Amino acid sequence: MPSPTKPIIAELGKDTRFKPGEEQVKISKMGVEASIRKRKETRLFKDVIQQRLAERGLTMEMISDKVIDMALEHGGKDFEILRDTIGQKPSDKVEVKALSIEDILKDNEPGF
């Protein structure tokens, strides 16, 4: 006997399934175009920042030195920016452990 939830799951998953033939090709092309557009925007933004820095006589090394100095002097947000930039950002994931009644009772026993 089929499960009563199967039709519900099938209905929910309808929008996430691969589409047949030409429709899937169209969706894939839209994704590629969006990706290309995003890369161009990112490259343009980077080029503009480098141009503005050059106009002011600044280099990336000078900016890096300033960020390091600020992080060492002030700590706080400046340190977080430096840490995150070099890829040392701590994980945002939280591990959740299910406790049983035995675990709770064991933790509340007087210990030695």
Amino acid at 46: K
Supply the pLDDT for residue 17: 64
Amino acid at 35: S
Domain spans of the chain, in order of start: 1-57, 59-112
Question: CB neighbours of 62 closer than 8 A, spacing ≥ 6?
Answer: none
Distance CA 53, CA 62 (A): 10
Supply the pLDDT for residue 19: 63
In order along its 112 residues, the chain shows pLDDT tens digits of 556 667 776 676 666 666 667 888 888 899 999 999 999 999 999 999 989 989 999 888 888 888 888 888 888 888 888 888 888 777 777 777 777 777 777 766 665 5
